[in-house]
Amino acid sequence: MPLLQYVYVLVLCLLSTAALAASPAGVVAVSHPAAAAAGARMLAEGGNAIDAAAAVQFALNVVEPQSSGIGGGGFMMVYLAKTGETVIVDSRERAPAQASADMFAPDGLPIPFALASTSGLAVGVPGTLRGVDLALRRWGTKKLSSTLAPAIELAEHGFRVNRFLAEDIRLDSGRTQLQPETAAIFRPGGVPLAEGDWLVQTDLAKTFKQIAAKGPDAFYQGALARAIVQAQQRARSELGAAGRGRMSLADLAHYQPALRAPLIGHYRGWTLAGMPPPSSGGLTVMQMLGMLEPYPLGDSAQGYGFGSPQTLHLMIEAMRLAFADRAVWIGDDDTVPVPRLGLLHREYLATRAALIQPGQRMNTALAGDPTPWDKTAIPEKPARLPAESPHTTHFSIIDRWGNVVSYTSTIEATWGSGITVPGYGFLLNNELTDFNFLPVTDSAADGANDVAPGKRPRSSMAPMMLFKDGRFVAAYGSPGGATIINSVLNVTLNLIDHGMTMQQAIAAPRLSVTHAAGKVSCEGGQDFMRPGLGIAAQDTLRQLGHVGLGDAGTQGCLGSIGSVQAVTIEPASGAAHGAADPRREGTVIRVGP
């Protein structure tokens, strides 16, 4: 069935935005309805969750080009029902062989982020296509060409621009205007596409057809590879040659994804499978859970419960401590040892939790030293990091056999580098800006997140799976830069401590702190965000000294954090469900009886 017919079926029988679906068969939960339809098409044609994930990823390149695509990378977590194995395909971008620790600070001063991030210097070697292909060859049932078919149709025939894409074009900080190829697609004739406009991407359709016919080598070698290398040699005029990308044809030809075992953690009798380095997502979430576990967060009789000042205060302080550790210790441990065992050791976490005072804000949250519990790393100086972009995408899928995919992918900033590969229609990432801009390497330490040849930059992506008594229960994740970590934490606490359903856990307002300094962001401005984070609770946090909430007596919880898409299985009945986030155009489709 053609994809556009699937979208029509979606209108008739699909659950609407932020809806919940139950099914003994397959379920997809995706941030865009057309991409959800692509995944459902694979399931309806007999494919499994891995096939559906491939189709969703390619379709998202068409309908959410500002967030992810073949010019970027990501992490795909796969649960295989037959064996009970959980494995991760790491297709994170790599620094090219000619990269150096001082490339973003050639004179000892960091290049302005706005310039560096929109120059070829920021482009990492893309991994998405190799990663998807590896997953299909290992566990899929369909050919790469079949999973590309829905995306080809969407790119060739077009789709209507939704309000999220229209807003990202309008509020692009110039990224869709800097390069003529990008402007031609999203600002034809100098006019930004608006909600309801029809977007056709002929060049992207041709690219997907080439890949369908010749496989991933069509991307990593030959004419397309040469076009990628030439495109990333573009630099902002203000930077001159210093802003040119360093990727070579050899970098593309040699790129390979990695298969990784998940990071395993435990919380109140539940088991979590999370993303290990080079992502900081799994370690940081599990650190925060370890610090919070001694407290009865779900017990309102003791002054806790969802949205209580005590609960919120503890969450903020745990976030501050975990992010302080993250800035020092976590990077690509294929290159620099990361003290995973130490960071999650119960005794180390007890020392960190002891710094939290229930009735008082910490003046300063500093990194600890986990090395006594894990002798695999050398302390380093705190990193100087730019802000991470809130744009990425996450989706979750379960098939009728019980296989599950939890997949987060990105091109880093909204619109990535802003560079569209001429004649091929896809954007290149600016992922290398996730490295330290100022290297922290000195005679005593190798910077865990300094730029180095072939190294993967630290990520915040945190695809997560939840198990109970050895049985799969839920898969979820979020976009949102560094706030990804806190969105996943919020949902996990909502499920385990506050007894919410997955849909309730997703819709509830979130709280986030992504720096040791502790500036608080929180939600509450939309009707679906219930129960709310009340002004009285916010005033208590203000009295404790927490910053970022504005003046006393005002609503300081505004804006939006993340976009969680999830699938679950009821342990008792085995029924599969999906839950989607109304913060974007979250969509759930079930396939089967």
Written as one string, the DSSP assignment of 357-368 is BTTB--S-----
Question: d(Cα 175, Cα 414) in Å, to the nearest integer?
Answer: 8
If you count them, how many residues does the chain have? Answer: 593
Neighbours of 11 (CB within 10 A): 9
Dihedral sign (CA 26, 27, 30, 36): positive
Q: State how far the alpha carbon of 404 is from the alpha carbons of 53, 279, 395, 472, 589, in Å.
A: 9, 20, 11, 9, 15
**Known catalytic residue at 392:** yes
Judge if pTM exceeds 0.85: yes
Question: d(Cα 59, Cα 70) in Å, to the nearest integer?
Answer: 11
Query: What pLDDT is attached to residue 532?
Result: 86
Question: d(Cα 519, Cα 550) in Å, to the nearest integer?
Answer: 11
Neighbours of 165 (CB within 10 A): 24
pLDDT in tens, 356-408: 998 899 998 999 999 999 876 555 544 444 555 556 799 999 999 999 999 99
Question: d(Cα 103, Cα 111) in Å, to the nearest integer?
Answer: 9
pLDDT surpassing 90 at residue 509:
yes
pLDDT surpassing 90 at residue 4:
no
Question: d(Cα 286, Cα 335) in Å, to the nearest integer?
Answer: 22
pLDDT in tens, 57-80: 999 999 999 999 999 999 999 999
Query: What pLDDT is attached to residue 446?
Result: 56
pLDDT in tens, 262-280: 999 999 999 999 999 999 9
pLDDT surpassing 50 at residue 11:
no
pLDDT in tens, 177-226: 999 999 999 999 999 999 999 999 999 999 999 999 999 999 999 999 99
CATH entry, 263-359+477-591, from 1.10.10.10, 1.10.246.130, 1.10.3720.10, 1.20.120.1200: 1.10.246.130
Query: What pLDDT is attached to residue 243?
Result: 93
Query: What pLDDT is attached to residue 396?
Result: 98
Question: Pick the residue with more confidence: 247 or 18?
Answer: 247
pLDDT in tens, 412-432: 989 999 999 999 999 999 999
136-140, 477-481, 486-490: lowest mean pLDDT where?
Answer: 477-481
The amino acid at residue 32 is H
Instruction: Report phi then psi at 32, rounded to 5.
Output: -140, 135
CA trace torsion 262, 266, 271, 275 (10° rounding):
-20
Burial 60-86 (b: 16+ CB within 10 A, else e): bbbbbbbbbbbbbbbbbbbbbbeeeeb
DSSP state of 19: -
- β-bridge partners, 477: 565
**Alpha helices per DSSP H over 260-354:** 281-292, 309-329, 340-344, 346-353
Task: Return the closest-CA partner of residue 72 out of 395, 417, 406.
Answer: 417
| Residue 438, token pair as written in the block | 């100022």
Question: d(Cα 366, Cα 63) in Å, to the nearest integer?
Answer: 41
How open is the CA angle 388-465-365, to the nearest 5 degrees?
Answer: 45
Question: d(Cα 228, Cα 51) in Å, to the nearest integer?
Answer: 27
Query: What pLDDT is attached to residue 387?
Result: 52
Query: What pLDDT is attached to residue 567?
Result: 98
Question: d(Cα 542, Cα 361) in Å, to the nearest integer?
Answer: 10
490 and 289 Cβ atoms separated by less than 8 Å: no
Query: What pLDDT is attached to residue 441?
Result: 60
pLDDT in tens, 525-582: 788 888 889 999 999 999 999 999 999 999 999 889 999 999 999 988 889 999 999 9
Burial of 593 (0-12, 13-18, 19+ CB in 10 A): exposed
Sheet-wide strand order for 471-477: 20-23, 576-579, 565-569, 471-477, 464-468, 270-274, 263-267
Question: d(Cα 436, Cα 445) in Å, to the nearest integer?
Answer: 14
Q: Tell how far CA 219 is from the center of its chain.
A: 23
Query: What pLDDT is attached to residue 571?
Result: 86
Q: State how far the alpha carbon of 554 is from the alpha carbons of 154, 544, 550, in Å.
A: 45, 16, 7
**Catalytic residue chosen out of the listed positions 118, 147, 311, 392:** 392
pLDDT surpassing 60 at residue 450:
yes
Per-residue pLDDT band for 239 (boundaries 50, 70, 90) equals very high
pLDDT in tens, 278-290: 999 999 999 999 9
Dihedral sign (CA 104, 105, 106, 112): positive
Q: Domain boundaries in the chain? A: 3-254+391-434, 263-359+477-591
